[in-house]
Amino acid sequence: MVLKMQAAVVEQFRKPLVLQERDIPTPAAGQIVVKTEACGVCHTDLHASKGDWPLKPTLPFIPGHEGIGLVVAVGAGVSRVKAGDRVGVPWLFSACGHCEYCLKAWETVCGQAQFGGYTVNGGFAEYILADPAYVAHIPAGLSALQAAPIICAGVTTYKGIKETSVKPGEWIAISGAGGLGHLAVQYAKVMGLNVCAIDVDDGKLEHARQLGADLLINAKASDPTVVLKKEIGGGAHGVLVTAPSLSAFAQGVSMTRKLGTCVLVGLPPGEFPIPLFDVVANCITIRGSFVGTRQDMNEALAFAATGKVKADIELQPLSAINQVFERLEHGQVASRVVIDFADS
Ligand code: NAD
Ligand code: ZN
Ligand code: ZN
């Protein structure tokens, strides 16, 4: 008898997710099955459900790439995890392990990578099929609910900050203080950086201040580049753009100090113009950053396990997923919603 599970499924782009009964997956050789305890809701899941990006998921699919749970079934030949382990099933679901990028420990850009909740089914379901070589091992002492946002929002911002090469005592500007941004502020403070938080919502900015941001700018009320340069002179040594808004990208580049680096992680569909003369003459680096490697993941989780970085979470049942998406779309989620499967 095949047992059933609840899952939230995208059947059509731009349509509400459908709650369905699906077969509980069984692990083939080399695979594991995780019983979901918690799964964060990332803005990427919203982009996925709308088919926002050039590489679209194949319909129907189950989103979710911040799924945490306990291993309940282990396929033949699996030795890296065992039943009962608490693991996270992240965006980087798997990679080939032997291409030039994997060999350089840049598995995030492997051409054969699979993405959880995108190219393969993800964590908006009571059980998740996973590749044991790419799951995150959740440190003891970190709850499933607290770990969930760390395995995407946390690792992405932790890695993105490292990619700015900003040093302790220098300034980083973090554009977007939502799910990613509220964790970025905390990682940046732990790393000894001065933080300017930019958002279009005063509530998000007030939260960023409570988390240690030194300077706050509302991009709706004033021009962030003008304010930043007036307050700290010359711009920020590093900029991390998490906002899912194209205007934030042009602002991010113009806020970057000479010789500084602007790291792009937000993924609104579209393009933005780059002021070539300023970028060239000021020797500014603009670079993309995509989640993080397994080593970045371990480091990001270790900060959370010590309590130095703590996700601010709002719990919801799986059945509320469409209302959560609606609020996320309109900037009405304070930080991160986590689906609590104990309540679903
Ligand atoms: P979120 O909705 O939780 O947060 C976005 C924040 O940006 C909100 O606080 C919102 O008020 C703010 N914002 C909106 N417009 C702004 C503007 N013009 N200027 C400044 N702030 C603005 O979303 P999230 O889950 O943090 O995800 C953010 C983006 O990052 C999404 O596009 C998502 O797909 C992307 N993302 C990328 C990666 C990666 O690996 N590169 C990983 C995860 C998420
Ligand atoms: Zn994500
Ligand atoms: Zn590879």
169 and 77, same structural domain? no
Ligand nearest to the CA of 247: 1
CA distance 113 to 290: 12
CA distance 202 to 218: 7
148 occurs within a structural domain: no
Cβ count within 10 A of residue 9? 17
Distance from the CA of 105 to the center of ligand 3, in angstroms?
9
The CATH number of the domain where 165 resides is what?
Answer: 3.40.50.720
109 and 37, same structural domain? yes
127 and 167, same structural domain? no
25 and 133, same structural domain? yes
103 and 36, same structural domain? yes
Q: Kindly report the protein residue whose alpha carbon is nearest to atom 34 of ligand 1.
A: 44
245 occurs within a structural domain: yes
Any ligand 1 atom below 6 A from CB of 177 = yes
Ligand nearest to the CA of 224: 1
93 occurs within a structural domain: yes
User: 208-265: per-residue pLDDT in tens?
Assistant: 999 999 999 999 999 999 999 999 999 999 999 999 999 999 999 999 999 999 999 9
111 occurs within a structural domain: yes
Q: DSSP string covering 32-95, please?
A: EEEEEEEEEE-HHHHHHHHT-SSSPPPSSB---S-EEEEEEEE-TT--S--TT-EEEE-SEEE-
Q: Last residue of some domain: 272, 288, 304?
A: 288
The CATH number of the domain where 77 resides is what?
Answer: 3.90.180.10
Q: Nearest-CA neighbor of 328 among 47, 8, 11, 19?
A: 47
CA distance 264 to 173: 12
192 and 89, same structural domain? no
Q: Give the 3-state secondary structure of 186-253.
A: HHHHHCCCEEEEEECCHHHHHHHHHCCCCEEEECCCCCHHHHHHHHHCCCEEEEEECCCCHHHHHHHH
Q: Mean pLDDT in the chain?
A: 97
278 and 166, same structural domain? yes
Q: Kindly report the protein residue whose alpha carbon is nearest to atom 8 of ligand 1.
A: 178
Would you state the pLDDT for residue 90?
Answer: 98
Cβ count within 10 A of residue 332? 12
The count of domains in the chain is 2
Residue type, 43: H
Q: Nearest-CA neighbor of 133 among 152, 158, 107?
A: 107
Domain that holds residue 232: 154-288
User: 89-125: per-residue pLDDT in tens?
Assistant: 999 999 999 999 999 999 999 999 999 999 999 999 9
In ligand 1, the atom with minimum distance to the C-alpha of 328 is: 2
On whether the CB atoms of residues 136 and 84 are closer than 8 A, the answer is: no
pTM of the predicted protein model: 0.98
CA distance 171 to 217: 14
281 and 159, same structural domain? yes
335 and 272, same structural domain? no
258 occurs within a structural domain: yes
User: 273-319: per-residue pLDDT in tens?
Assistant: 999 999 999 999 999 999 999 999 999 999 999 999 999 999 999 99
232 and 179, same structural domain? yes
Residue type, 140: A
167 and 125, same structural domain? no
Q: Provide the 8-state DSSP code for 120.
A: B
Mean pLDDT for the stretch of residues 75-88 = 97
